[in-house]
Amino acid sequence: MLLLADSSCRVKIEIRGIVQGVGFRPFIYKLASKHRLSGFIFNNGSGVVIEVEGRSVAIELFLEDVTLLSPPLSRIDFIGKEKIDSQGSISFEIRESVSNGMSTSIMLPADLSLCKECLEEFNDPQNRRYEYPFINCTNCGPRYTIIKNLPYDRKNTSMNKFVMCKECKEEYNNPNNRRYHAEPISCYKCGPKLQLLEPNGTVQVNEKEAFTSLCDLIRSGEIVAIKGLGGFHIVCDARNEKSVSLLRLKKHRPSKPLAVMFQNISAIKSVASLTLEDEKLILSQERPIVIVQKKLNSSLADSIAPNIDRIGVFLPYTPLHALLLKNLDFPIVATSANISDEPMIRDAKELLNKLPFVIHSVLTHDREIINACDDSVVQDVNASLVMLRMARGFAPQSFFMQNKSKKKILALGANQKATIALAFNNNIVLSPHIGDLNSIGAVEYFSRTVETLKRVYNFEPEIIVCDKHPKYETTLWAKEYIKNHTGVELLQVQHHYAHALACMAEYSLDEKVLAFCFDGTGYGDDASIWGGEVFVADKVNYKRVYHFKNFALLGGEKAVREPRRVALSLLFEYFTLDEIFMMKSELITSFKKSELKTFYQMHQREINSPKCSSVGRLFDAVYALSGHLKMLAYEGEGGLVLESLSALSKSKEVYSYSFQGSVIEYQEMICQILQESNKAEIAKKFINTITKIIIDITMKYPDLPVVLSGGVFQNKLLVSQVIEELKIRKRKYFIQSKTPVNDGGISLGQVYHAI
């Protein structure tokens, strides 16, 4: 708004976006003082409301500084300005928050890792918060995990039970202090207390003794649990092979990689080869788990990440973790405390009830975790972040839309790596990672997350969006909700189209794209299992222009866990049973002759053998054809092993394939793989072939931007090669960065279509 330079006036300003819990009010206070303006600021359910009074030119400069100098953790989505009557105020003040019952324009803040200033105080023996396990300020500390409702005030968090001491209260009320209205503010006198519990729940020791005892247990090789920011971690010495192997045995996690926490970046460099981009991600304020290249020889236990050349590393992100690593001076396994397929445990009683035989002791505290939130997992690909799990530090993720959503929309995502998304007014909100909905506990956590976001945003959906799969828990939940809420509309979106839409939503694409949607499983429009799909798509419609040739999954879900069944199915597609009997292959000899006959009959008669076009399952088949015959211990293991093997080959060759109409035919590739004996060559040439197929199809649509989405594009080598080839051809391409490229992005795609 243009004001007369020589006049005095008063202006009312409304700001929406991420403006609560990020130091916005003290920033405005200092800015008003700088420009000699009077007035006030307060939080409400929509964002912040500011009134400033003074010379017009000063107000103009103030408004410029608001957008140019706003706190780094804030995000301004909307600024409304209105000239009002002057009141003759002489000072600027920060007023108490006002709840207007809206909460529809405030974006929930994500949890923040320990900041530099707090870390310096933490390490200063003269500071009253020296080595305080819960040190925080306006620029760091818990947010989403402690919040019950908006506005983001202490009374609406789990810190409400802790009465501030005199010193903390003075800091909290001083606008010039870094801890002004830092809602989780506390110290040794008035903050949460540590306890060390035995597996039966008995308190062993409190406070300082609890922490010292815990460190002694870890040094002696014990497995313990520690209450973190969004849930409990199971922890042990990452160098101790016996401890790590025992953890795997007790947690029923035979080979899935374990994340390792290090004291500093130098310690990580001793076990991993880092690029500059890796370092930036590791040191970023979000402090995610970063997938990096591990060195062949290191001090870590061999069973941390068996059979692959990658490792997940991260730095301490809470003061409690920092204190732990400082005292131990060696890396620790820090894996989520949960039962397989269930969410991260956030309560000590639940932990002791579910995992009593896994852990020796539990370090807990009395600050309640309101909303569970796992660790985020990312990797760098060609100097770009690829999100594998969006959680702590990144989520809840919000997007501002120029055009308002006409209705309130709730999208429920997929069954694996579930997330939910909301659309209202000009906002899209994507929840943190929920997990796989394969258990009652996971479905309860899913429902709890829905209720949390509905409550916080004062949100009742008018449209529910879900997948087309009739047996997904999210689909069943949606249909039950519709049945009990008349007037709410149900919309179902095809799984792989939602993958394409998720990428389009992240980049606000409103044009036709050529979308490669490759993953493990998704319900197709023809009721078969899709997963190797190429679409020409926009926000409203899609056309399936190419897909990989269908093959059978022998035994249905069993084939997903046992890749040799998938490989055998491919052989049944192209060879007679007698020809298969004659093959001298590890794959064939791993089956009894009677088993081969039974599986052949299943294939021929299509008994419990659903058809599938999945590239994820194709990776599994090649994994088995190259001699890996054990059952998979975790999703994506086959692809990770092939990617690791491919690093041992420099081959640029590809296998043969052809296009039969809209079908990608790969019979020749299977025959050629059977002639290979070098596993590394098989892995590299197979990934080269998938790359070549993508590029060949891309060249058939020279005018369309390319979208890459789906779990297969977590494969770093594949994505690197595809991007390199697209750049050579000067093709515009998009792959998700802020949101998960896997099923964690499905809800975002669903809501984008519904809008």
- HEC secondary structure over 221-273: CCCEEEECCCCEEEEEECCCHHHHHHHHHHHCCCCCCCCEECCCHHHHHCCEE
- pLDDT value, residue 3: 40
User: Tokens in use for 155?
Assistant: 């009374």
CATH 3.30.70.100: which residues of the chain?
A: 8-94
Tell me how far apart the alpha carbons of residues 312 and 298 are, in angstroms, rounded to a whole number: 14
- pLDDT value, residue 143: 92
Q: Would you state the CATH architecture of domain 229-357+370-377?
A: Alpha-Beta Complex (3.90)
Give the fold, CATH level 3, of 109-192. Answer: DHBP synthase (3.90.870)
Where residue 508 falls (left for φ over 0; alpha for ψ -120 to 50; beta otherwise) is: left
- pLDDT value, residue 4: 39
Query: In this structure, which long-range contacts are made by residues 262-266, counting pairs with CB atoms below 8 Å and at least 24 apart in sequence?
Result: 262/313, 262/314, 262/315, 262/325, 262/331, 263/315, 263/316, 263/325, 263/326, 263/328, 263/329, 263/331, 264/315, 265/315
Element (H, E) at 99: none
Please say whether the beta carbons of 83 and 56 come within 8 A: no
At which residue do the structure tokens 């770093």 appear?
716
- pLDDT value, residue 382: 87
- pLDDT value, residue 2: 37
Strand partners, 608: none
DSSP state of 702: T
Q: In this structure, what are the phi and psi dihedrals at residue 200, rounded to the nearest 5 degrees?
A: -85, 0
Strand partners, 429: 398, 422
Tell me how far apart the alpha carbons of residues 277 and 282 are, in angstroms, rounded to a whole number: 9
Instruction: With a cut of 50, list the residues of the chain below it in pLDDT.
Output: 1-5
Q: In this structure, what are the phi and psi dihedrals at residue 600, rounded to the nearest 5 degrees?
A: -65, -40
Q: Which CATH number is 8-94's, of 3.40.50.720, 1.20.58.390, 3.30.70.100, 2.40.50.100?
A: 3.30.70.100
CATH 3.90.870.30: which residues of the chain?
A: 109-192
Pinpoint the alpha helices (H) of 35-108: 56-68
Please say whether the beta carbons of 318 and 299 come within 8 A: no
Tell me how far apart the alpha carbons of residues 483 and 601 are, in angstroms, rounded to a whole number: 42
**Dihedral angle of Cα 673, 677, 679, 681, to the nearest 10 degrees:** -70
User: Tokens in use for 692?
Assistant: 């070549």
- pLDDT value, residue 97: 80
Tell me how far apart the alpha carbons of residues 118 and 178 are, in angstroms, rounded to a whole number: 10
pTM of the model: 0.92
Amino acid at 485: H
Task: Please tell me whether the peptide bond between 125 and the residue prior to it is cis, using omega within 30 degrees of 0.
Answer: no
Tell me how far apart the alpha carbons of residues 652 and 684 are, in angstroms, rounded to a whole number: 8
At which residue do the structure tokens 């002639």 appear?
675
- pLDDT value, residue 341: 67
- pLDDT value, residue 665: 96
User: Is 3.40.50.970 the CATH classification of the domain at 390-511+741-754?
Assistant: no
CATH 3.90.870.10: which residues of the chain?
A: 229-357+370-377
* Tally of helices (H runs) and strands (E runs) in the chain: 24, 32
CATH 3.30.420.360: which residues of the chain?
A: 390-511+741-754
Task: Please tell me whether the peptide bond between 356 and the residue prior to it is cis, using omega within 30 degrees of 0.
Answer: no
Please say whether the beta carbons of 420 and 451 come within 8 A: no
- pLDDT value, residue 389: 95
| Residue 581 CB neighbours (<10 A) | 12
- Of 705, 672, 704, 710, nearest in space to 688 by CA: 672
Tell me how far apart the alpha carbons of residues 309 and 313 are, in angstroms, rounded to a whole number: 13
Amino acid at 610: P
Q: In this structure, what are the phi and psi dihedrals at residue 199, rounded to the nearest 5 degrees?
A: -55, -25
Buried b (16+ CB within 10 A) or exposed e, 357-373: ebbbbbbbbebbbbbbb
User: Is 3.30.420.40 the CATH classification of the domain at 516-735?
Assistant: yes
Mind listing the pLDDT tens digit for each residue in 583-633? 988 899 999 999 999 999 999 999 999 999 999 999 999 999 998 988 998
Pinpoint the alpha helices (H) of 583-715: 586-589, 593-605, 615-625, 637-646, 667-674, 679-699
Cβ partners under 8 Å of residue 659, min gap 6: 546, 665, 696
